[in-house]
């Protein structure tokens, strides 16, 4: 579905090939070449229920997607697999496409039986797409039956920037995939930077998953991750306990509430993990 051909709905429009697009085997779509649309059904579907809008969003073609939407393309159309244009925009990493789809009424949070846009953004490390969805009310701890929470997904695929942003915005550090926590996922992947991040934000290293294993049990023997987790066997420092207590008290409003406390800047930075 990445390559646009004349057999696809979008390919049935006239389009121009840019030199860069041609060199990569991808079509560089010129917005003006989609006009006029008179007489063409913008909601034409393939046998898999893929529309031109699906393809435009998967390719990150913002201007083309806009033309289709302005001419009546169904913003929440789902393929046979339940994939929406918004999911495809998160797949391509086009934050501009994501914003525009939301402006045209795309549902930011779908039912649990459909592929989740925010999980796809977290999986692929598309932080801006993820932030845009969260700004439109998506539950930061939305648990997908197959993939767990967005934070769990980001840890599983070692997307450090997404992990940082989710924690900064108030994601529950211990919500993962059923009993498997984000710390389990990070330890399993030997992601020492992510393990340290999670612990700093209060991850419980003693949590046990369905196999009754804690994160330390999943760490590679003699690895840096194992060393970091072994250091957590003792009690947390008083400074860490105070920071966690204040952050829990403030909840998800922590990011905007801390500056209002009129604390010295070094203390604010400490509370905000800066």
- Chain segment 257-266, per-residue pLDDT in tens: 888 888 898 8
User: Structure tokens of 3?
Assistant: 């390559």
pLDDT greater at residue 17 or residue 15? 15
Class of domain 240-274: mainly alpha
Q: What is the pLDDT of residue 23?
A: 34
- Mean of the pLDDT values across residues 68-80? 94
User: Structure tokens of 51?
Assistant: 């529309």
Identical topology for domains 1-111 and 240-274: no
Residues 6+ apart with CB under 8 A from 110: 84, 116, 117
Contact between 62 and 94 (Cβ < 8 Å): yes
Domain ranges of the chain: 1-111, 139-234, 240-274
**CATH 3.40.228.10 corresponds to the domain 139-234:** no
Q: How confident is the model at residue 22 (pLDDT cuts 50, 70, 90)?
A: very low
- Mean of the pLDDT values across residues 248-259? 83
First to last CA, the chain: 41
pLDDT tens across 172-212, in order? 999 999 999 999 999 999 999 999 999 999 999 999 999 99
- Mean of the pLDDT values across residues 49-56? 95
**CATH 1.25.40.20 corresponds to the domain 1-111:** yes
Q: How far apart are CA 98 and CA 92, in angstroms?
A: 10
User: Structure tokens of 111?
Assistant: 């039912």
């Amino acid at each position: 579905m990445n390559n646009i051909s004349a057999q696809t709905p979008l390919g049935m429009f006239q389009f121009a090939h840019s030199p860069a697009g041609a060199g990569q085997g991808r079509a560089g779509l010129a917005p003006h070449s989609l006009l006029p649309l008179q007489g063409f059904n913008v909601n034409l579907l393939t046998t898999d229920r893929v529309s031109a809008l699906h393809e435009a969003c998967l390719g990150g073609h913002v201007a083309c997607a806009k033309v289709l939407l302005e001419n009546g393309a169904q913003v929440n159309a789902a393929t046979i697999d339940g994939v929406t244009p918004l999911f495809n925009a998160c797949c391509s990493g086009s934050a501009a496409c994501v914003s525009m789809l939301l402006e045209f009424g795309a549902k930011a949070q779908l039912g649990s039986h459909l592929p989740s846009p925010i999980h796809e953004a977290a999986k692929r490390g598309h932080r801006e797409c993820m932030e845009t969805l969260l700004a439109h009310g998506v539950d930061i701890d939305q648990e997908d039956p197959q993939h767990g929470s967005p934070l769990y997904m980001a840890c599983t695929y070692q997307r450090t920037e997404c992990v940082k942003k989710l924690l900064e915005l108030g994601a529950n550090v211990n919500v993962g995939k059923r009993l498997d926590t984000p710390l389990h996922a990070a330890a399993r992947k030997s992601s020492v930077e992510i393990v340290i991040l999670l612990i700093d934000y209060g991850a419980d290293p003693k949590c046990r998953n369905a196999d009754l294993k804690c994160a330390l049990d999943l760490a590679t023997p003699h690895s840096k991750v194992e060393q970091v987790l072994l250091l957590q066997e003792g009690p947390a420092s008083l400074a860490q306990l105070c920071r966690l207590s204040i952050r829990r008290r403030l909840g998800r409003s922590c990011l905007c509430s801390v500056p209002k406390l009129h604390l010295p800047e070094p203390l604010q930075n400490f509370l905000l993990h800066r």
